[in-house]
Amino acid sequence: MKYDNRFAPPAPMVSCVFRRLQPSEAVAQASGLLDTGADISVVPQAVVERLGLVPYRHLEAQGYDGTVADYLTYLVNVELPDGAISDLEVIALPCADAIIGRDALNHFHHIGWTCVRVRDVAH
- Return the exposure string of 101-120: e unless at least 16 CB atoms fall within 10 Å of the residue's CB, then b: beebbebbeeeeeeeeeeee
Span 78-112, pLDDT tens digits: 999 888 999 999 999 999 999 999 999 988 876 54
Average pLDDT over residues 53-63: 94
- What is the DSSP secondary-structure string of 64-122? TTS-EEEEEEEEEEEEETTEEEEEEEEEEES-SSEEE-HHHHTTEEEETTEEEEGGGS-
Residue 59 half-sphere exposure toward CB, CA atoms < 13 A:
18
Confidence of residue 1 (pLDDT cuts 50, 70, 90): confident
How confident is the model at residue 18, as a pLDDT? 97
